[in-house]
Structure 1
Amino acid sequence: MFTQRSGIGASVDVVLPCLDEAGALPWVLDRMPVDYRPIVADNGSRDGSRQVALERGAVVVDVPERGYGAAVHAGLLAADADVVGVCDADASLDPAELPGLVTQLLAGRADLVLGRRRPTSMRAWPPHARLGNAVVAGRLRRHGVPVHDLGPMRVARREDLLRLPVADRRFGYPLELLLRAAQAGWRIVETDVAYTPRVGRSKVTGTPLGAARTARDMSALLASLR
C-alpha cells in the first residue's frame, strides 16, 4: 500500500470523487505515491466502496449531495495539505503520474496543472466521449482558456482553489473551474497522462446520449458565464 515514491519531498492530498468504484479502488489506492494522502469523497456508493477505501488506509468523506462537483468540493474542504490533486477513482488514470504534475506546480511554472489524457486504446476513450470533450475544449479556447482537455487529473494549491467562486456542484464543475481560473489570471498548463479503459461503466459519458447531454450542459454553462 502506497509504495510509489513521490520524489519531491512534499505532502499532497489527493481527492478521489467516488460513486460505486469498489472494483477500481484497490488498484487506484495501491498506486498512490508515498506522501500522497488519498481522500475518497464517497457520493453515495452502494457497492462497498467506502469500506474498501477504509481498509486501504484512505480518508473517507461522506458526501450526501449528489454530483461530481459536490464530491470534489467536499474533498477539498477535508484536505489540509498545501497542494491538492484530483483524480478519478475508476482506474482510468494512474495516481503514480501525479508527481509529474506536482513538480510543475512547485517549480512555479503553473497555478493549475492538468493531465491531458492520451488514450492507450480506442476502448479507453470512445469516439463519442472524445468528440464531446473536444467540442467543449474548443469553446474554452475561444474564451481564452488554453486547454485541449477538461482534465479529470489536476493539481493546484488548496487555498487558491477554495478562493475561486466555483458554484457548480454537478458535472459542470471542471468546466467552471477552468473558466474561473482563467478569469483570475491563473497560468494553466497541460501535461500528457495515460488514459486507460476504466473499471465499470462511466456515470457521465458511458453512452453517446450521456456524452451529448454532458456537452449540452457544459455549453449552456459556458453561455451563462460569459
Structure 2
Amino acid sequence: MKINVVLPCLNEAAALPWVLGRMPDGFHPIVVDNGSTDGSAGIAATLGATVVSEPRPGFGAACHAGLAAAVSDVVCFMDADASLDPVQLPRVSGPVVAGEADLVLGRRVLRPGASWPVHARLGNAVLARGLRRRTGVRLRDLGPMRACERLPLLALGLVDRRFGYPLEMVLRAGAAGWHIAETDVDYLPRQGRSKVTGTVRGTLRAVGDMRRVLIRQNGTA
C-alpha cells in the first residue's frame, strides 16, 4: 500500500503541479482544500491526488481531515507551497517504515532563493528549544515535513485545529514515549506568500496558537 501524504492547501494553484509532479513512487497525495478560491481542488484532482474538502478554517483542521481520510499504515505531512520537495519524503518516512523511529521531523535547511524571515526563524528556534526541554529530543525545527504511523497518531487525540497542531503532535508523542528523530530536508523558494511566516502578524498568530497548546499540555500533564 502506498504511503499517504497529507497536504493542507489554501490557494496553492501555482505550486500544486510542481509538488504533485514530484511525488515519488510509493506515495499518494491527499490534498485537503481549506477554502481555496483559485481552483486548487480541481487542479489537484486533475493531477491524480485524492481531494478532501475541509470547510472549517485552520491548518490543524486541514491536517486532521487529511489524517482521517488516510488509509496507509504510515502517513506523511508536508506543505503544498513548493517550499519542500516531495522527492525527499523517503528521508522522513524511511526510519518510521523501518521501525527505527515513531515520528520523524524534517529539519529545514535553507537553500538559495528561499525566504525564511528572521521573525519566523526566531519563533521557530524558541519553540524548538521548548520542545527539547519537554521531550528530551535534540530538535532544531518544528519540521513541516514529517512522518509517523497513522493509528498511533490518531490515538494521541490531538485537539488543536489551528497552527498549534504540529506542536501538539510532537508534545503528545513525547509524552507518550515515542522515539522522535530529525533529518535534514531542503527548504526551497515557495510559490506565493506564506500564510504564516510571510508577515509578522501571521507569525505572531501561529506563536499564539502554539503557546495555547503549551499551556493546555502543561495543564494536562
The RMSD of aligned alpha carbons is 1.3
Please state whether the residue corresponding to 2:23 is helix, strand or coil.
coil
User: Which residue number in structure 2 is paired with residue 56 of structure 1?
Assistant: 47
Q: Which of 32, 53, 61 is the matching residue for 1:41? A: 32
User: Which residue number in structure 2 is paired with residue 169 of structure 1?
Assistant: 161
Native 8 Å contact 1:67 1:169 kept in 2 = yes
User: Which residue number in structure 2 is paired with residue 211 of structure 1?
Assistant: 203
Alignment map for 1:95-114 (pairs within 5 Å): 95-114=86-105
Q: Which of 6, 9, 17 is the matching residue for 1:26? A: 17
After superposition, the C-alpha distances for 1:24-48 in whole angstroms (9 at most, x for unaligned) are 0000000001121110011010000
After superposition, the C-alpha distances for 1:54-88 in whole angstroms (9 at most, x for unaligned) are 11011000001111111111111111111111110
Native 8 Å contact 1:137 1:148 kept in 2 = yes
User: Which residue number in structure 2 is paired with residue 180 of structure 1?
Assistant: 172
Instruction: State the 1:122 CA deviation.
Output: 6.6
Native 8 Å contact 2:114 2:187 kept in 1 = no
User: Which residue number in structure 1 is paired with residue 4 of structure 2?
Assistant: 13
User: Which residue number in structure 1 is paired with residue 212 of structure 2?
Assistant: 220
Q: Which amino acid aligns with 2:177?
A: G
Q: Which of 125, 146, 171 is the matching residue for 1:134? A: 125
Instruction: State the 1:159 CA deviation.
Output: 0.6
Structure 1 unaligned regions, length at least 5:
1-9
Native 8 Å contact 2:92 2:145 kept in 1 = no
Native 8 Å contact 1:14 1:85 kept in 2 = yes
Instruction: State the 1:11 CA deviation.
Output: 1.8
Instruction: State the 1:143 CA deviation.
Output: 1.2
Distance between the aligned counterparts of 2:33 and 2:114, measured in 1? 26
After the TM superposition, which segments of 4 or more aligned residues of structure 1 sit over 3 Å from their partners? none
Distance between the aligned counterparts of 2:43 and 2:209, measured in 1? 33
Please state whether the residue corresponding to 1:52 is helix, strand or coil.
helix
Structure 2 unaligned regions, length at least 5:
none
Native 8 Å contact 2:33 2:52 kept in 1 = yes
Matched residue count: 217
Instruction: State the 1:113 CA deviation.
Output: 0.7
Q: Which of 150, 160, 169 is the matching residue for 1:158? A: 150
Q: TM-score, normalised by structure 1?
A: 0.92
Q: Which of 122, 135, 149 is the matching residue for 1:144? A: 135
Q: Which of 187, 197, 201 is the matching residue for 2:189? A: 197
Q: Which of 77, 94, 100 is the matching residue for 2:68? A: 77
Q: Percent of aligned positions with the same letter in both sequences? A: 58
Distance between the aligned counterparts of 1:207 and 1:121, measured in 2? 20
User: Which residue number in structure 2 is paired with residue 7 of structure 1?
Assistant: none
Please state whether the residue corresponding to 1:225 is helix, strand or coil.
helix
Q: Which amino acid aligns with 1:83?
A: V
Distance between the aligned counterparts of 1:175 and 1:109, measured in 2? 22
After superposition, the C-alpha distances for 1:200-219 in whole angstroms (9 at most, x for unaligned) are 01111211232133223312
User: Which residue number in structure 2 is paired with residue 4 of structure 1?
Assistant: none
Native 8 Å contact 2:23 2:86 kept in 1 = yes
Distance between the aligned counterparts of 1:137 and 1:18, measured in 2? 25
